[in-house]
Structures are given as structure tokens and as C-alpha cells.
């Protein structure tokens, strides 16, 4: 690795982290103004995030929606991925593509779709509508990770279980589920973090009734910038790093992201 190559890596990493560094600095300002580097160090804005009813409410809304949506996403993805893999369904490839589509299309298209749907059904503005929309929108992530997990199972392991007396149900319960559990958790985590950060769908479906943290930040931007937004951003970045860091620590992150399986050391 030449020095030039290493320098390039660090410059890009620097650019990627620059806005976050600035926001983190801004969130530490002592007074209610944005300065970078911060003038005076204070954690008051973090405190406000957790104590001020409107910020706190938005944070709780975001977390509730993200947890529920991630569970919905896994509940949709798991049986679909399992059925496509285990039974080699004739329309498997098509179903898989439909499962991938929400995440690949521009989110605003899905947002308008969801908006018209919930308006028609009469659940416009409800939290449940946001949860279900996020669940469907993000189902792509557990679908991809679980499918990856299923495909990495040695098929003779399943056959071995069969020769020892395991029927369909026992195979699923004692072999497949334990083996894909880490992939399922990764999918859940990905969906959770992305739901937490999702703006446009949450805004269109319930932007004025169920304020999530990103919606709250955006709505507040119109009345001027406050360091609390910086504090919220920092909390979100740390949360994302914690979740992905856990996957990276206990799982095989390069493989999840598409590298070949790790060679046995």
C-alpha cells in the first residue's frame, strides 16, 4: 500500500466524517447559536433532547416506529425468503424482486404511493400507517440478509437432519433457524436504523400528527437552527455506529455486504 493510496483513503474518510464532526461540535455550544468550533462546552442541548417534551416525544415516536417496523419487516421477509429457498417456488424470483423493489425505487415514489393508500383506507396520519409503511419499505433488508444466510447453509446439513429423523418442522426449528439467526438479527438491525432515519415517508404519511425525530428536526429548521438538532444528529450517528458496530463485531459484515465468505483461517 503506497502512501498516496493511504492518503486518498483518509481524505475520503475525512470528507465523509466532516459534516458529522461539525454537527457534533455545534451541539456542544454553550449558547443557543451555531458556532464551529463551539464557543464554550455544554451538554445542555443533549439534556434538552431527552427532557424537552416535544424533542423527547419525537425521540420516543421514532424509536417506537423503528422497533415495530423492523419487526414487521422481518415478519414479512422471513417466511418469504424461507419459502423461496426451501420450496424453490416457481414465482420465487419474481417475489424476491418485488421484495427488493421498495428499497431500490426512489423513496418519494413509495411515499406518494403510501400516502394515497392510507388516505384511501382512512388511516392517514396514524402511527400504525407509518409502522406498516416502514415495515414494507424496509423489508428488502432482512429479505437480503436472510436469503444470504439461507444460501450459505450446506444443503447436506439439511439432508443429514432428515436421515436422523427430522421432518420439515424439525428441520426448520433445529437447523435452519439457529443457523440464520445472526442474519435475521442483522436484517432487523439494518431495518431499525434505517426506519429511525427515514424522513420522506414518515413526513408524507403523518408529518403533522406523529412527529418522528427527522421530521421534528426538519420542522424546526424553519424556525431557525438550534444546537439541539446537532445533539439529535449526534445521538443518531452514535446509535447507528453502535448497531453496525455490533454486527461488525459479532457477525461477518463484509460477507453481509457482498464479499465472498471469509476463508477459514
Residues 93-132 that bind other proteins (CB under 8 A): 95, 98-99, 101-102, 104-117, 120, 132
Instruction: State the number of CA atoms in the 13 A half-sphere of 164 facing the CB.
Output: 10
Nearer to other proteins, 43 or 160 (CB): 160
Give yes or no for residue 230 binding other proteins (CB under 8 A). Answer: yes
**Which member of 18, 43, 60, 128 binds other proteins (CB under 8 A)?**
18
> What gap in Å lies between CA 247 and CA 183, rounded to an integer?
9
Rounded to a whole number of angstroms, the minimum distance from the CB of residue 202 to other proteins is 10
Among 12, 43, 60, 128, binds other proteins (CB under 8 A): 12
Enumerate residues 146-165 that contact other proteins by CB under 8 A: 154, 156-157, 159-165
Judged by CB under 8 A, how many residues of this single chain contact other proteins?
A: 114
Selected binder of other proteins within 55, 150, 214, 228 (CB under 8 A): 214
Minimum CB–partner distance for residue 168 and other proteins (Å): 7
Q: Report the nearest approach of other proteins to the CB of residue 113 (Å).
A: 3
Q: Which is nearer to other proteins, 52 or 251 (CB)?
A: 251
Shortest distance, CB of residue 41 to other proteins, whole angstroms?
A: 15
Among 200, 206, 210, 231, binds other proteins (CB under 8 A): 200
Q: Is there binding between residue 254 and other proteins (CB under 8 A)?
A: yes
Answer for the pair 111, 200: CB distance below 8 angstroms, yes or no.
yes
What is the SS3 string spanning the chain?
Answer: CCHHHHHHHHHHHHHHHHHHHHHHHHCCCCCCCCCCCCCCCCCHHHHHHHHCHHHHHHHHHHHHHHHHHHHHHHHHHHHHHHHHHHHCCCCHHHHHHHHHHHHHCCHHHHHHHHHHHHHHHCCCCCHHHHHHHHHHHCCHHHHHHHHHHHHCCCHHHHHHHHHCCCCHHHHHHHHHHHHHHHHHHHHHHHHHHHHHHCCHHHHHHHCCCCCCHHHHHHHHHCCCCCHHHHHHHHHHHHHHHHHHHHHHHHCCHHHHCCCCCCCCC
CB nearer to other proteins: pick between 43 and 259: 259
- The reply on whether position 258 binds other proteins by CB under 8 A is yes
Q: Which residues in 24-83 contact other proteins (CB under 8 A)?
A: 25-26, 33-37, 76-77, 79-80, 82-83
Centre a 10 Å sphere on the Cβ of residue 227 and count the other Cβ atoms it contains: 26
User: Shortest Cβ distance from residue 53 to other proteins (Å)?
Assistant: 20
Decide if residue 184 touches other proteins (CB under 8 A): no
Mark 125-138 as b/e (b = at least 16 C-beta within 10 Å).
Answer: ebbebbbbbbbbbb
For other proteins, the closer of residues 45 and 236 by Cβ is 236
Q: Which among 1-9, 43-51, 53-61, 63-71 is the span making contact with other proteins, rule CB under 8 A?
A: 1-9
Amino acid at each position: 500500500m503506497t502512501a498516496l493510496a493511504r492518503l486518498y483513503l483518509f481524505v475520503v474518510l475525512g470528507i465523509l466524517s466532516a459534516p458529522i464532526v461539525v454537527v457534533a461540535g455545534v451541539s456542544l455550544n454553550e449558547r443557543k447559536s451555531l458556532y464551529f468550533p463551539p464557543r464554550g462546552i455544554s451538554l445542555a442541548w443533549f439534556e434538552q433532547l431527552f427532557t424537552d417534551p416535544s424533542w423527547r416525544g419525537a425521540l420516543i415516536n421514532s424509536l417506537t416506529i423503528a422497533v415495530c417496523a423492523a419487526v414487521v419487516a422481518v415478519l414479512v421477509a422471513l417466511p418469504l425468503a424461507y419459502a423461496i429457498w426451501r420450496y424453490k417456488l416457481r414465482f420465487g424470483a419474481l417475489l424476491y424482486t418485488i421484495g427488493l423493489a421498495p428499497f431500490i425505487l426512489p423513496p418519494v415514489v413509495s411515499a406518494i404511493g403510501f400516502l394515497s393508500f392510507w388516505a384511501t383506507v382512512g388511516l392517514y396520519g396514524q402511527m400504525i400507517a407509518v409502522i406498516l409503511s416502514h415495515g414494507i419499505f424496509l423489508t428488502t433488508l432482512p429479505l437480503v440478509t436472510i436469503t444470504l444466510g439461507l444460501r450459505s447453509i450446506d444443503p447436506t446439513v439439511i439432508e443429514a437432519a432428515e436421515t436422523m429423523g427430522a421432518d420439515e418442522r424439525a428441520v426448520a426449528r433445529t437447523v435452519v433457524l439457529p443457523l440464520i439467526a445472526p442474519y435475521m438479527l442483522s436484517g432487523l438491525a439494518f431495518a431499525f436504523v434505517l426506519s429511525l432515519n427515514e424522513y420522506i415517508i414518515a413526513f408524507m404519511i403523518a408529518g403533522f400528527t406523529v412527529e418522528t425525530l427527522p421530521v421534528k428536526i426538519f420542522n424546526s429548521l424553519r424556525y431557525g437552527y438550534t444546537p439541539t438538532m446537532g445533539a439529535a444528529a449526534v445521538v443518531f450517528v452514535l446509535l447507528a455506529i453502535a448497531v453496525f458496530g455490533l454486527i461488525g463485531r459479532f457477525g461477518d459484515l463484509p460477507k453481509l455486504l457482498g464479499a465472498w465468505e471469509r476463508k477459514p483461517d
